[in-house]
Structure 1
Amino acid sequence: MIKKYLIVLIAISISLFACKDGIKVETMPEKTFEEIKLKIPKENKIKQHSMDSTSFAVIKDSIILSFYQKNNLKTFWVSDVVRGNLLQTLYNLEDEGLFKSHFPLDSIDKQEQNITNLSDNDLVNYDILLTETLLKYLIKVSRGSIQPNKFYNDYTLNENSFDYLTVLKKLQNEDFEAAIASIKPQHLVYKQLKEALKLIDEFKINSFPRIDIEDKIRLGDSLEEVAVIKERLIFWKDLSPKDSLTLLFDEETELAVQKFQMRHGLAPDGVVGAGTLSALNITPAERKQQIIANMERWRWYPRSFGDEYIILNIPDYSMQVVRNNDTTRSHKVIVGKASRKTPVLNSKLTHLVFNPTWTIPPTIKKNDIIPATAKNRSYLTDKNITVYDRSGAVIKPEDWNQRDAVSYRYVQSPGNYNSLGLVKFMFPNKYAVYLHDTNSRSFFERATRSLSSGCVRVQNPFELSAYLLDDEEKWSLEKILNLVKTNKTTEARMNRDVQVHLLYWSAWSENGNLKFRDDLYEKDFKLYEALSNQL
């Protein structure tokens, strides 16, 4: 629908950079362009121009070439309304976590202001510039600025592909905003991140002094640092503003600390220890970087997770099973430690193994099993590990030879002592990781659960097994529990498609509240730095 009046407000922000620990920190936006108002009583158009061979030759991108060929080699952005919609999209690109400094907005602004005085050749070049800029925007906002499989060695994701030419063609004949929105991620978390970006911009300062304490601070303590902690809690809106701040760590402060801790995935004990202090010292500018990095990741993730899927958030130590957009199960998980990261991947559940054996993978064999066996040969017997040579012959502990140790195959027998516990959930991937039970179930009570060697340990695995197999006759919970008592290794094939998504996101928002998790693998700020340098 053509509007009678179109007002395009353009506010371009300078990117002010400060250097902190070698990372560029982009400050909150400030206006740099004069406000432009296009008052149009009707849909005005500038004259459409044909593109000669000289103009056409400067276009290098095949998508843009095809776009203009479909448009009979004529300029496209002749309607002031359509062009105004484009300008609004470009001038609001920071809402998508993109960087204005990566787009030629200065040049676009100058030419737009002077559009009635541009020569025919300049109008053609301006039209091409607008199309090139929009395509760059579409690519960045749809599949990201960085290829994850090249940036990380622990990511295996299929790159999202889009028909950009079709999107470009839709812009004139369909609702402009809807055409642009169709290419953006539609996941709830991405929308929560966009909201988080707005929320973090409400904080008008970028940084604050570090808080340093020697010991934990808890209820009843009276220290100078308590007043500073209260100020910080008021800043983050976890504590109500006060006319004056006392030095007493009172019950109201304890509750505010607990609220802050819950927003950050910390144990809500109301005590300011190392973890809580670290989170309190992260600045708004750094939190904004974290949000932008997570928005980029969600542009990498599949547009559809499937009708039924398992989705796991590594920094949150949580896993959900979703069927037809409804979360049907939630489980705590234990993920890989920083030195042995759980990878990011998409796959499909194929089968479950009850009472599994464990063939020890190369990294654990080299770093854990061989050193332990070299110190004490009884280690193998204590852990119920059988050793095989290359021919498949069993090597007795007394015959174990350290010089040949790397060539041996080490297999742990089924049972309660098995590191995989009593069930594992299999899905193909190049990292040889899977979901599994554990023989250390008390670890699920910890707030920080990056403890494994890369695989994912799942709480309540038998209930999950019965749900996924969904066969009361063969695989009821009761029958599964009876089966695991036998120590007999048994395989159960899946009878329906359940996708598996091991993902990494450390920021979002819920009901107007910012949520953050510890960046376990130190991915956020490195990614932000790479993004800020991407043109």
Structure 2
Amino acid sequence: MYKKHAACLGLLVGLLLPVSLLANQQATQDALREAFSGHATACTAALPAVALQAPGLLHEFYAQRQFVPLWQDAGRRLDLLHELQQLADDGLDLTPYQLSLLQAQLQRQADSQAEACAELLASHSYLLALQHLYQGRLPLEQRESLWRAESLPASTRPSLLSIAWQGLDKVANAFAAARPSQSHYLQLRRAYASLRQQSPAEWPLIEAGRLLKPGMHDPRIPILIQRLQADGYLPADTPSATLYSESVASAVRQFQQLHGLQDDAIIGADTLAALNQPFAARLEQLRANLERWRWLSAEMEPDLLLVDIAGGLLSYYQGGQLQWQGRTQVGRAVRQTPQLKSRVNRLTLNPTWTVPPTILREDKLPEIRRDIEFLARNDLQVLDQQGNLLEPYFIDWQRPGPIILRQAAGPRNPLGKLAIRFPNPFSVYLHDTPSQRLFEKSPRAFSSGCVRVEGILQLLPLLLDEAERAPLAARLDSGKTSQYNLRQPVTILMAYWTAAVDEQGRLILRKDIYARDAQLSARLRQAH
């Protein structure tokens, strides 16, 4: 197909161009072929040696078009320059795309060798930019890990080269096709673009000290007022005072809401850290999350259960439209909820709870050793590896051996009335919980890795067809433990973002509960 296209292109050029120009184009084609010969050329001064390897992405880009020059038109090169400059709004460092050198080579070069080098530089920058938008700036080994189930269907995304070839007629289309299309990314990109245009605000730092609560007098309150004014939470004419007034408290609550913090107007360590975050650090946080979206864009599907780990939210999409959303509780920093992609295929109704080995060792055994009645108070049974009941009083709890602790279904069971299960090596799942009051907290990192979901029973009808709902509701009401295999498995993605844009278009900067942003930002700064 591509050879036929190239032949037709050559015939058309031959009809339109004077003989001298045809000769120049042929010489440039020959120089392009020669650049991939493995011999040192003048082009290696502008291009990394790896880019000129054959086979390779750049080589394939030209080989499929018979090495016909692609950037002879000055208008196309100008379009390329414009799109490369827009990558700054994606939080990408423009250095690798060599804009200054491209700008200098906009005019036709004096000889075929120089023209070939200008061609290769333009294509290299073009392909590199598309690759960064399509797959992420960092190589796979430097990304935050994401476990994927082997049973997931293969990606149907077009290849990078397909996007690059199709976009040659209109370069902007190629960049739009490579850039993540999810509204989450595009809104975050707009927020970053707006923020980076602002003058870096060096707002006043608020010193550490006692907790600040509404109604208190404190010498730091005037600085707090200045800080809130600098970010638009208080009007500029708010009078300075040492009283922590209700109007200031209202502004602090709004600040806390937009920073994923408990909106109680109490200024403790977390709120103080967020207030004192430098402007540059805020930009870095957005850049890190734009990069995460570039990694994960390919994992998004129209029908999806999406767990936003740092955001403490579970969202269910059908046909790309949000159908349901609920708050979640996720793993503590010492027992983090993993990033993964799998398929929800099974429900446990009125589940029993088998205590995971880590929780058994670190949490339950110390309690049992202090008081063996802990087992009875919490409806915990002791079993051997074959599932046989054991008598707790006959066990040496200093060296209990390979036992299993299991809690019966019921109102005190930590899994509540429903567990939503999917294959993964971490033994995590979504589940109901009796710990409802914790959903009012923020951030909500309280679990041992599994995801507790508020109102999870509301999600159940969405996972079932109409004929399944009534029989399953009866089984749920029975109080008996049972398993149910979904007729239509649903993809689940659990991922980590610390920045988002809400329904009102407001930027949300969350607490980095797993302390990942700084490391990712450092890697992005080093990736030139």
State TM-score, norm by structure 2: 0.84
Q: 3-state DSSP class of the match of 2:348?
A: strand
Is residue 496 of structure 2 the alignment partner of residue 504 of structure 1? Answer: yes
Alignment partners' CA distance in 2, 1:355 and 1:383: 16
Quick one: which amino acid aligns to residue 530 of structure 1?
Answer: R
Is residue 75 of structure 2 the alignment partner of residue 81 of structure 1? Answer: yes
Quick one: which amino acid aligns to residue 195 of structure 1?
Answer: R
Of the three residues 15, 29, 34, the one matched with 1:50 is 29
Alignment partners' CA distance in 1, 2:217 and 2:368: 52
Tell me the residue number matched to 1:216: 211
Tell me the residue number matched to 1:170: 166
Is residue 132 of structure 2 the alignment partner of residue 140 of structure 1? Answer: yes
Is residue 502 of structure 2 the alignment partner of residue 523 of structure 1? Answer: no
Alignment partners' CA distance in 1, 2:509 and 2:277: 11
State TM-score, norm by structure 1: 0.83
Of the three residues 263, 266, 275, the one matched with 2:258 is 263
Q: Number of paired residues?
A: 485
Of the three residues 401, 405, 413, the one matched with 1:410 is 405
CA gap 1:462/1:72 in 2 versus in 1, 3 angstroms:
closer
Alignment partners' CA distance in 2, 1:190 and 1:508: 8
Is residue 341 of structure 2 the alignment partner of residue 346 of structure 1? Answer: yes
The Cα shift of 1:402 comes to 4.7
Quick one: which amino acid aligns to residue 496 of structure 1?
Answer: Q
Q: Which segment is superposed worse, 146-155 or 321-330?
A: 146-155
Q: Which segment is superposed worse, 298-307 or 226-235?
A: 298-307
Alignment partners' CA distance in 2, 1:307 and 1:89: 28
Q: Which segment is superposed worse, 140-149 or 355-364?
A: 140-149
The Cα shift of 1:55 comes to 1.5
CA gap 1:463/1:483 in 2 versus in 1, 3 angstroms:
farther
Of the three residues 342, 355, 363, the one matched with 1:368 is 363
Quick one: which amino acid aligns to residue 354 of structure 1?
Answer: L
The Cα shift of 1:480 comes to 5.5
Paired residues of 1:462 and 1:481 also in contact (CA < 8 A): no
The Cα shift of 1:339 comes to 0.6
- Superposition pairs for residues 285-304 of structure 1, below 5 Å? 285-303=280-298
Task: Kindly provide the CA deviation profile for residues 164-199 of structure 1, in whole angstroms up to 9, marking residues without a partner as x.
Answer: 2212212333x2211221111111110111011023
Paired residues of 1:508 and 1:516 also in contact (CA < 8 A): yes
Q: CA RMSD in A?
A: 2.7
Paired residues of 1:314 and 1:335 also in contact (CA < 8 A): yes
Paired residues of 1:310 and 1:319 also in contact (CA < 8 A): yes
In terms of fraction of residues, the more helix-rich structure is 2
- Superposition pairs for residues 303-342 of structure 1, below 5 Å? 303=298, 305-342=300-337
Of the three residues 121, 134, 149, the one matched with 1:129 is 121
Q: Which segment is superposed worse, 190-199 or 315-324?
A: 315-324
Q: 3-state DSSP class of the match of 2:168?
A: helix
Paired residues of 1:389 and 1:395 also in contact (CA < 8 A): yes
Paired residues of 1:195 and 1:509 also in contact (CA < 8 A): no
Paired residues of 2:201 and 2:230 also in contact (CA < 8 A): no
Tell me the residue number matched to 1:384: 379
The Cα shift of 1:224 comes to 2.9
CA gap 1:302/1:428 in 2 versus in 1, 3 angstroms:
farther
The Cα shift of 1:438 comes to 1.4
The Cα shift of 1:212 comes to 1.3
Of the three residues 56, 81, 89, the one matched with 1:95 is 89
Alignment partners' CA distance in 1, 2:435 and 2:505: 37
Of the three residues 403, 415, 419, the one matched with 1:424 is 419
Q: 3-state DSSP class of the match of 2:488?
A: coil
The percent of aligned pairs where both chains have the same amino acid is 27
Quick one: which amino acid aligns to residue 409 of structure 2?
Answer: P
CA gap 1:385/1:251 in 2 versus in 1, 3 angstroms:
closer
Alignment partners' CA distance in 1, 2:471 and 2:230: 52
Alignment partners' CA distance in 1, 2:213 and 2:285: 29
CA gap 1:476/1:192 in 2 versus in 1, 3 angstroms:
farther
Task: Kindly provide the CA deviation profile for residues 455-505 of structure 1, in whole angstroms up to 9, marking residues without a partner as x.
Answer: 001112222223423446753786365223xxx111222232422121211
Q: Which segment is superposed worse, 141-150 or 471-480?
A: 471-480
Tell me the residue number matched to 1:280: 275
Paired residues of 1:341 and 1:453 also in contact (CA < 8 A): yes
Quick one: which amino acid aligns to residue 72 of structure 2?
Answer: V
Tell me the residue number matched to 1:251: 246
Alignment partners' CA distance in 2, 1:381 and 1:150: 48
Paired residues of 1:263 and 1:516 also in contact (CA < 8 A): yes
Task: Kindly provide the CA deviation profile for residues 494-524 of structure 1, in whole angstroms up to 9, marking residues without a partner as x.
Answer: 2324221212111123445321111111111
Q: 3-state DSSP class of the match of 1:172?
A: coil
Tell me the residue number matched to 1:475: 470
Paired residues of 1:257 and 1:270 also in contact (CA < 8 A): yes
Alignment partners' CA distance in 1, 2:280 and 2:123: 32
Q: 3-state DSSP class of the match of 2:30?
A: coil
Task: Give the unaligned 5+ runs of structure 2.
Answer: 1-20, 39-51
Alignment partners' CA distance in 2, 1:148 and 1:250: 50
Paired residues of 2:350 and 2:482 also in contact (CA < 8 A): yes
Task: Kindly provide the CA deviation profile for residues 84-138 of structure 1, in whole angstroms up to 9, marking residues without a partner as x.
Answer: 11111222221111112333334333434xx445432122112112211221111
CA gap 1:378/1:316 in 2 versus in 1, 3 angstroms:
same
Q: Which segment is superposed worse, 338-347 or 262-271?
A: 262-271
Tell me the residue number matched to 2:228: 233
Paired residues of 1:334 and 1:458 also in contact (CA < 8 A): yes
The Cα shift of 1:207 comes to 4.1
Q: Which segment is superposed worse, 403-412 or 116-125?
A: 403-412
Quick one: which amino acid aligns to residue 164 of structure 2?
Answer: L
Alignment partners' CA distance in 2, 1:528 and 1:94: 15
Q: 3-state DSSP class of the match of 1:395?
A: coil
CA gap 1:212/1:332 in 2 versus in 1, 3 angstroms:
same
Paired residues of 1:346 and 1:500 also in contact (CA < 8 A): yes
Tell me the residue number matched to 1:62: 56
Alignment partners' CA distance in 2, 1:167 and 1:472: 43
Task: Kindly provide the CA deviation profile for residues 297-320 of structure 1, in whole angstroms up to 9, marking residues without a partner as x.
Answer: 111114363343222211221112
Alignment partners' CA distance in 2, 1:521 and 1:217: 26
Tell me the residue number matched to 2:9: none
Tell me the residue number matched to 2:190: 195
The Cα shift of 1:215 comes to 2.1
Paired residues of 1:199 and 1:514 also in contact (CA < 8 A): no
Q: 3-state DSSP class of the match of 2:442?
A: coil
Q: 3-state DSSP class of the match of 1:498?
A: strand
CA gap 1:255/1:310 in 2 versus in 1, 3 angstroms:
same
Alignment partners' CA distance in 1, 2:342 and 2:385: 31
